[in-house]
Structure 1
């Protein structure tokens, strides 16, 4: 019966991140720096809120868009943090993680044959959804611009079919983000055009050089903002994300969301309310530790001779391995086999990621030290 499967589904592949992670699982004594999973536990006060919700038998469906107090708290959170103003009654949806938010946003705005502009390299979760919609992913090479999709690059690549531009920042896999000035230039480049901006801001609480700025501050009417609690509050498994957009867009995304999942978990929403209110500053505590790790890992990589753009957010580095003359997959596989260190081949992040590897520093300092000692020894042997 496989011949009857939707061809768009047949054409998509498992994430390169997960594919390599699965390969690594077959090796012993491997220090893995592959997954973007915070190593902090979910804060205790958030877990207690969820336990209380269970004890109170709060196990029913909620409003499709989510509990109104959660939506109010989410709107207050982004207003206080990023100066964004959204109506909790009509301009925010509580989703099952940022991934589902991306899915329903793209399924709402895309049609077959329309184009979506993506910065390359980029997180691999966008392209399959674009393809499932019958739309066309258009990658723009950012490797010569310190991994930034600039206003000039956008202007050069806009066509009459461009329906959406995805701006994921801070970026997975590079860790780079935008300044307010750069976002204003991008906003001016697309203002008034029939083009949506999908701003994936899931790492917005993890910026190091300056507070996060959202492009929705400058182009609200064309922007759909994706955010959530996975990275900011170490709540990946709780699966709570948010979609913010003008009501004329949100009302249509809500229809897709309704038929897709009905609503986010009631228990997770109770935890989310606590995270957004009592845990308003939780992300800052984690960020301080990530910043220490960044300085350590970046310093070690530079000392080893790697060319690497210093990140300004998230918890990834994306060093070049081009001097070794290997594909990123071959380099990463050899690193596992000979040194017992797992990273993600850059090719997992589009063809523009080839020649790089992604290192996650969302791991303990002890694990990072062990991995980097092994990497250093491996590099020294390869350069002899």
Structure 2
């Protein structure tokens, strides 16, 4: 067989249905069958799109024209101003690209380079590896540990960069923080230390900061502040604005990476999504415009998510599960390893078996750690604590939400039933 076709077939075999989307389908099917379901598997914002942004979309609904591939100039300018106010590095509108979601922009950034190596932090988001393989790149995982708060360290990065087989191949590192699936982030000191290694080895960084505005204390720091010449940032409306289905993503490409690279990225964009939808782009101008409504909306979300996440984490720890308090976004990454022997006695030896059995017995949907680059034997899982009505939460303030509370209680009680003798919290 032609080697090119053989490689393409292998890449396609390695590309499966996104597990995050699949678990949402499973949850919908159980709900349709009137079975109990607790939607802790799919990471979708529970909050509504702010009404003034929805109103802007109504006004722009008639817009039907194709826009520039790079994006509506007014939107690029507004996005640049918005992010410049939050970073030490100033954004230029000429370096901003607007896409039909940050997911496709991530692919375009990767596909604009040929025959690269891509380093992924494990655990990490499910789509990074398939996208890198579809772009024809080699993929490597930097395996982190619970004790490291699931963060890559400068020492780990230095070892990987120093031991690469082919130093002539371009190297990408994809970072995501606050993280999916772990809800944890990096401090400025940690990012500065990573930047020293990245600069030494000339690594191109794709910094996926889609949850940055949902840092629970509003203190998100970008690695671009420490490594501006080599860091591309992606973000969008899906998480902080509650507008996942609107498919509006942004990317900022530093001028130091060169005009040729920028043009190649825009070329890939033009051959994939053409342009982000015109009505959505016009509404996004309003979404990214600074005013008191925006600040209040962000603060309310952060407070609710922090309280909910910490309550869930506390209950899990009381049940003997190892998990860190979240720092941003809406995920926990619990580790059930303390139950390994007792679960093995029940025939459960992998994360996939663990989450499948939990779903069948309790109706709680989780995603196994193996979906995020962890070994099959890892008894880790992602828990998205978003199964509540975001509109009611915004109206009622900070309180633990009944469906979340019931789902966590069922999960903890399931552990007690499956592994008797362990003290479990009541809720």
SS at match of 2:250: strand
Contact kept? 1:121, 1:173, Cα under 8 Å = yes
| TM-score computed with the length of structure 1 as normaliser | 0.93
> Where do 5+ consecutive residues of structure 1 fail to align?
none
Give the whole-Å Cα distance in 1 for the aligned partners of 2:190 and 2:131: 27
Aligned to 2:76: 71
2:232 aligns with one of 213, 224, 233:
224
After the TM superposition, which residues 1-384 of structure 1 pair with which residues of structure 2 at under 5 Å, given as runs?
Answer: 6-7=8-9, 8-27=11-30, 28-54=35-61, 57-88=62-93, 90-109=94-113, 111-112=114-115, 114-143=116-145, 144-158=147-161, 159=164, 160=167, 161=169, 163-209=171-217, 211-247=219-255, 248=258, 249-277=261-289, 278=291, 280-281=294-295, 282-325=297-340, 326-352=349-375, 354-364=378-388, 365-384=401-420
Contact kept? 1:339, 1:374, Cα under 8 Å = yes
Give the whole-Å Cα distance in 2 for the aligned partners of 1:134 and 1:244: 23
- Report the CA distance between 1:86 and its aligned residue: 1.8
- Report the CA distance between 1:194 and its aligned residue: 3.2
- Report the CA distance between 1:210 and its aligned residue: 5.8
Contact kept? 1:118, 1:138, Cα under 8 Å = yes
Contact kept? 2:49, 2:243, Cα under 8 Å = yes
| TM-score computed with the length of structure 2 as normaliser | 0.84
> Where do 5+ consecutive residues of structure 2 fail to align?
341-348, 389-400, 421-427
Contact kept? 2:184, 2:327, Cα under 8 Å = yes
Contact kept? 1:86, 1:245, Cα under 8 Å = no
Contact kept? 1:169, 1:204, Cα under 8 Å = yes
Contact kept? 2:218, 2:302, Cα under 8 Å = no
Cα shift readout 1:315-338 (whole Å, capped 9, x = no counterpart): 100111123333111111111111
Give the whole-Å Cα distance in 1 for the aligned partners of 2:298 and 2:86: 11
SS at match of 1:369: helix
For structure 1, which segment, 78-87 or 369-378, has the greater mean C-alpha deviation from structure 2 after superposition?
78-87
- Report the CA distance between 1:134 and its aligned residue: 1.7
SS at match of 2:212: coil
Contact kept? 2:102, 2:249, Cα under 8 Å = yes
Task: Give me the CA root mean square deviation.
Answer: 1.8
Cα shift readout 1:26-78 (whole Å, capped 9, x = no counterpart): 43212121111011111110100000112xx3221112211111111101111
Cα shift readout 1:146-199 (whole Å, capped 9, x = no counterpart): 200111110011122451111111110011111111111111112153320110
Give the whole-Å Cα distance in 2 for the aligned partners of 1:64 and 1:157: 36
Contact kept? 1:60, 1:266, Cα under 8 Å = yes
- Report the CA distance between 1:352 and its aligned residue: 4.2
Give the whole-Å Cα distance in 2 for the aligned partners of 1:219 and 1:328: 36
- Return closer, same or farther for 1:171/1:85 CA change in 2, 3 Å cut-off: same
Give the whole-Å Cα distance in 2 for the aligned partners of 1:10 and 1:327: 23
SS at match of 1:82: coil
- Report the CA distance between 1:21 and its aligned residue: 3.8
Contact kept? 1:98, 1:227, Cα under 8 Å = yes
Matched pairs, number: 376
Give the whole-Å Cα distance in 2 for the aligned partners of 1:357 and 1:363: 16
Cα shift readout 1:303-362 (whole Å, capped 9, x = no counterpart): 111111222111100111123333111111111111221111111111347220111112
Structure number with greater CO (CA < 8 Å, separation at least 6) is 1
Contact kept? 1:77, 1:280, Cα under 8 Å = no
SS at match of 1:205: helix
Give the whole-Å Cα distance in 1 for the aligned partners of 2:202 and 2:135: 18
- Return closer, same or farther for 1:265/1:209 CA change in 2, 3 Å cut-off: same
